Structure formats: C-alpha cells, structure tokens
Structure 1
C-alpha cells in the first residue's frame, strides 16, 4: 500500500507544497486509487499535481465526517473527477459548529456540493465492503470515553444547536494480505473506540497500522494544551494491547500529544505532514 499525505497542518520542508489545517490522503491499494478526505480548500489538488498524482483517476472518495477541514475541497475535486463515488455517512451535510462561551464558527462542509452533485454520493449506513477488501465501518462502539475536545463541537438540530454526537463519522478499513490498515479522519468517537470496533468486526485479523488524526488537541481550531494523560494512556495501552505495528498520525492529534505518544511508542509512531509518503 502506498499512502501520500496531500494535506496536513504542517508540511515536509523539503517539498514545495502548501499546508493548511485539514487532512487529505491519497491511497493506492489492491489496484485501486482512493482519496480519503479532501482538506479545507483545493490546495490538496495543487499539491497532487506537484507530486505527480492524477486525481482524475481516483476510483472512490471517502469523507470521514462532516467537518469542512476534511470535506471542504470536495466541490473542487468533483469538478475535475467525473467517475469517483463519494462514500460518507448520511449526516455529513448538517450544520456543524465550533463554539465557546465567547466564540462561534461554522465548521460544516459547503452545502453547494450536495446540491450540485447529489448523484455522486453513496451514503453508507451499515458495515459495507465498497470495493474488494475496502470496507466502511459506520457503527462505532464506545467502551472508552470520547475525546475531551468534542465539548466545543455542536450541530444544529431543527431550531436549536446541541452537542455533536458524531453520528456522521466513519472508519475506513483496508485488508491486505490478511492484515488490516485503519484510516481515521479526526477520531471524534475516540481512537481507542475505533480500534476496538475494527477488532470486533474482524476478530481473526491483525491490525497492521492505523493512519489519521486522533483528536488529542483539547480545544479544536486553537493550539491549546493536549488531551489529558489518562486519555493518551488509554490510546497507548490499546495500541500496545492490539500489537499494532505502525501508527501514522498528525492533524488534530496535535504535536504536544504526539510527543507524549512518541515517548512511549518510540519508532512505532510517525508524524505525517503534507508530502509524507508511506509504503505500508
């Protein structure tokens, strides 16, 4: 499997690429080309051209959840790619907000994409194999606590705004050589919960790697302190208990939390930046 980070908050200083607060991954696996999330703008498309990646050849696009830093570039993508289905949970088109006592900001995906390209969306409401050995897990079990940073994230429910329960979030799982690679967007439901869910769904298969954001920044959109040590320890223990070989993370994990993970996981964990290429 080949994975290239098209957008992340930071960038590989050796490459002439643009970074932004968001995430987009290009994946080649099982003879297919997958786009996992699209960042905030069309910058991932510009980066892809510089990296020699032809996004017109993408076979399928997966949007991990309904926030604009993961689906904001979708409209630009659909204008250049006329074949890829977009797989997502049904609730990604809702109105989502980041809120504190003094501040409120919309973090939804531009709704124009849903009205202009309604036939391109394939809504996944149950466990589904969308292509050979490529799966969407839609129902996430929650034996562990969700990330603390979720308390600042809300959704409009009819005439009121309520705390988001993240029913719009999914997991993508790829099976290669009877091993699993998990892809997360922001892990709003909790990375430990996602690992547990995948292990229960595929009880006889080893999780080789997990890739994506882990939402260990306590206050989203603001570079604040990381999640509690207890939350970080829960994730570390889950990674070690499941004997996951490699952990690739960035974006909403935050560099402060990453350092704490690195102190324990060592070479098992790698920070992905815009331009990072992985061969798994």
Structure 2
C-alpha cells in the first residue's frame, strides 16, 4: 500500500507544494484509489497534479469528520471527479464551531456540498465494508482520555450551542494479508480509543500502522500548547502494548507533541509532511 500526503500543515522544503492547516491522504492499494480527507481548500488538487497523481481516477473518498480542514476541498474535488462516492457519517453535515476567549469561528463544511452533491454522498452510521478490505468504523467508545483541545469545539443543536460529542467522526481500516492499517483524521475521540475500537473489530490481526492526526495541539493557533505528558504516555503505551509496527502522524498532532512521542517510540514513529510518500 502506497500513501501520499497531498496536504498537511508542513511541507518538505525540497518540493514546491501548497501546504495548509489541513489533511488529505491519497492511498493506492490493490488497484483501488482512495482519498482520505480533502484538506481545507483545493490546494491538495494542485499538489496532486505536481506529484503526477490523477484525482479524476479516485474510486472513493472517506471524510473523517465534519470540520472544514478535512472536508473543505470537497467542492473542487467534485468538479474534477465525476464518479467517486464520498463516505461520511450523517452528522458530518452539521454546524460546528471553534470557540475560545469570546472568539467564535464556523468550522463546518460548506453546505453546498450537501445541497448540490447529495447524490455523491453515502452516509455510513455503522461498521461497514465499503469496498473489498476497506472498512469504516463508526462506533468509538471513550475508555481512555480524549484530547483536551476538544473543550474549545462546539456544535449547534437547534438554537443552542453545545459541546461537540464528535458523533460525526469515523475511522478507516484497510486490511491486507499481513495485518491492518488504521487511518484517523483528527482523533477527537482519542487515538487510544480508536485503536481499541479497531482491535475490537479485528481481534486477531496485527496492526501494521496508524496514520493520521492525533489532536495533541491543545489550541491549534498556539503551537506551543500541546497535550499533557499523561496523554502522551497513554497513547505511547497503547502503541507499545498493541505492538503497532509503525505510526505516521502530522496535522493536529503538532511538532511539540510529536517530539514527546518520538522520545518514547523512537523509530516506530515518523512525521508526515505535504508531499511525503510512504509504503506500508
């Protein structure tokens, strides 16, 4: 399986690519072409062209959750790809906000996506195999800590602003002969909980890799603020206990938290940047 990071918060200095606070991964596996999230804008499309990737040929899109830094590129994607279904949870079409110190920002996905392209959307609200060996896990129970940064994230229910419970979040699992790989967007439900959910569904399979963001930047706009050592330790210990072979992370994990994880996990963990390519 080959994974290309089409967009992420940082980029490799050697490549002339767009980068932004968002995430989009392009995955090729057994003649299947999958897009996991679409970043904040259409920048991932320009990057794909420079990297020689034809997004017109993408077979399926998986949206990890209903925030604009993961689904903001859906409208421009629909304009270049006429066939791929977009798999998401039903509540991904909701209204979501970032609120801190009196500052309030809409971080939901453009409603045009749901109004103009409803025929391209497949809502998934239970464990589903969407393609051969490609699975969506929708039920993620909160046994372990969830990211402290969640306290700044809200949803609208009717006329009320309520704490976001992330019922719009899902994860993707790709199964191969030698094990499974887990894909997370932001892990708002907590990466240890997502690993546990995958283990519940696939109790006997090796977890080859975990790929995605872990939401360990407490306040995204202030990079100096990262998760507590307790959160870092719980996640690292889960990775060790589950004998996960490799971790590739970026986006909302943040460099500060990544360095703390790197100190514990060593070569088991790597940071992905815009343009990076990995084979799992």
Given that 2:224 and 2:256 are in contact with CA atoms closer than 8 Å, whether structure 1 keeps it comes out as: no
Aligned to 2:85: 85
When the two chains are superposed, the root-mean-square deviation of aligned CA atoms in Å is: 0.7
How does the TM-score come out when normalised to structure 2? 0.99
SS in 2 for 1:214: coil
Given that 1:98 and 1:107 are in contact with CA atoms closer than 8 Å, whether structure 2 keeps it comes out as: yes
- List aligned pairs for 1:101-116, cutoff 5 A: 101-116=101-116
- List aligned pairs for 1:65-76, cutoff 5 A: 65-76=65-76
2:14 pairs with 1:14: yes
TM-fit CA distance, 1:178: 4.0
Given that 1:23 and 1:251 are in contact with CA atoms closer than 8 Å, whether structure 2 keeps it comes out as: yes
How does the TM-score come out when normalised to structure 1? 0.99
User: Which segments of 5 or more consecutive residues in structure 2 lack a partner in the other structure?
Assistant: none
TM-fit CA distance, 1:222: 3.1
SS in 2 for 1:218: strand
Counterparts of 2:119 and 2:224 in 1: how far apart (Å)?
40
2:111 pairs with 1:140: no
Aligned to 2:5: 5
Deviation by residue 1:127-173 (Cα, 9 ceiling, x = unmatched): 00000000000000211021100000000010100000000000000
2:73 pairs with 1:62: no
SS in 2 for 1:223: strand
TM-fit CA distance, 1:46: 0.2
Q: Give every structure 1 segment of 4 or more consecutive aligned residues whose post-TM-superposition deviation is greater than 3 Å.
A: none
User: Which segments of 5 or more consecutive residues in structure 1 lack a partner in the other structure?
Assistant: none
- List aligned pairs for 1:247-266, cutoff 5 A: 247-266=247-266
Aligned to 2:152: 152
- List aligned pairs for 1:261-272, cutoff 5 A: 261-272=261-272
How many residues align? The count is 280
Aligned to 1:98: 98
Given that 2:59 and 2:84 are in contact with CA atoms closer than 8 Å, whether structure 1 keeps it comes out as: yes
- List aligned pairs for 1:81-230, cutoff 5 A: 81-230=81-230
Counterparts of 1:156 and 1:30 in 2: how far apart (Å)?
40
Counterparts of 1:241 and 1:156 in 2: how far apart (Å)?
38
SS in 1 for 2:219: coil
SS in 1 for 2:221: coil
